[in-house]
Structure 1
Amino acid sequence: MMAMMGAIPLVGCINLEAPDEPIVIELNINITQEVIYRLAEDAENTIDENADIF
């Protein structure tokens, strides 16, 4: 009960302010997997079309 009474004066001390500078979110997206998949598919098609060379 004493802890609750001691915490009551702290309720009005919270202030929220917006930052002066804009918030920047950097999105670094890695697309390596898609490029490798396309190259692998293209290589597979080339090998299938030219099976006598390999």
Structure 2
Amino acid sequence: MKPAELTVRRAAATIPPMEGEARPSSRAIRSLVLAMAGLMALGGCISVEAPDKPIVIELNINIRQEVIYRLAEDAGNTIEENADIF
């Protein structure tokens, strides 16, 4: 190809409709437009507000700490009881 051929403006490609292809009727288009307008009108009715009371999330971290403490105590007792192994 020559550089001039790459920059030449041509008409946009068009695809002819297939035979028997159904086109939307004006009634269908009108009903679609009315449905979209109705949804847009209802869109303003939804509101999101912050709650009056603060959100409380309870985390019980003490359980994990207690389990680790108990395991450490058991390990210490096992070492003392079996000092010849260690």
Structure 1 runs of 4+ aligned residues shifted over 6 Å read: none
Give the alignment's TM-score, normalised by structure 2. Answer: 0.43
Aligned length, in residue pairs: 49
Shift of residue 40, structure 1, vs aligned partner: 1.5
Partner of 1:46: 80
Give the alignment's TM-score, normalised by structure 1. Answer: 0.59
Please tell me the root mean square deviation across aligned C-alpha atoms, in Å.
Answer: 2.2
Higher RCO (CA-CA < 8 Å; seq separation 6+) = 1
Q: What are structure 2's unaligned runs of at least 5 residues?
A: 1-31
The share of aligned pairs that are identical, in percent, is 37
Partner of 1:18: 50
Shift of residue 48, structure 1, vs aligned partner: 2.1
Q: What are structure 1's unaligned runs of at least 5 residues?
A: none
